[in-house]
Amino acid sequence: MPAFRSSPWAPLVSAAFLAVATAAPVSQPMAMAQPAVAGEPGVFTIADGSVSLEAPQAWQRVQPKSGIVETEFAIPSEGNAADGSPLPAGRMTVMGAGGTVEANIERWYGQFAQPDGGSTKEKSSTKKLKVAGHDVTLVDIPGTYKDSPGGPFAGGKTIERPEYRMLAAIVEGPGGNYFLKFYGPASTVETHADGFRKMIESMVPAAN
């Protein structure tokens, strides 16, 4: 496995929530179509409010599309796809869920395919950190994302999204694991990779 790239890098839920959809249909740019959360800053908490993080300023906090997602951000994209249509926005979801770190990462590998038919695991990278007293695993997965926009209970239709990338952080805690999953067009993720990494590395215990 290659070493984790400096600016590169979606949460495994328990069995009932496997394959949660995390992107809008490729034919309709995700843009910033979701309603913004009025008056909410980029600061949010995880782990039952015990850890605080701050999203990059350019990210827009929006109403989560799914009831199992606690916090969600839309990330602006620039440029156009190969067919000339605007690139869809990136998306970051935040939620607590079950499953081991290793099992979640293996499932994420299965959500991507490689154009050359190679191993997604071999083209991905991971990195371990200790931040704010928590073990954190960073994951970076490129490739064609096999999206299920209707969710796990909507018939299982899959849409392939070429040239996508996922950066994710699994934050371990005594009450369970938290998953921060940022994915979208590879160019968008590359542009915002440093902001994602800084957000994770700068998390602090929340003020009481």
Query: Does residue 11 have a pLDDT over 60?
Result: no
Measure the CA angle with vertex 175, ends 148 and 62; round to 5°.
45
Cα 157 to Cα 150: distance, rounded to the nearest angstrom: 7
Q: Where are the domains of the chain?
A: 15-205
All residues at 6 or more sequence positions from 100 whose CB lies less than 8 Å from its CB, including other chains: none
What is the β-pairing status of strands 176-185 and 90-97?
Answer: antiparallel
All residues at 6 or more sequence positions from 208 whose CB lies less than 8 Å from its CB, including other chains: none
Mean predicted confidence (pLDDT) in 7-31:
37
Tokens standing for 199?
């957000």
Q: Decide which of 3.40.1000.10, 1.10.1840.10, 3.30.43.10, 1.10.3720.10 is the CATH code for 15-205.
A: 3.40.1000.10
Beta bridge partners of 135: 130
Tens of pLDDT, residues 105-143: 999 999 999 999 999 999 999 999 999 999 999 999 999
Average pLDDT, the chain: 82
Tens of pLDDT, residues 44-86: 999 888 999 999 999 999 999 888 999 999 999 988 888 888 9
Tens of pLDDT, residues 24-55: 333 333 334 455 554 456 999 998 889 999 99
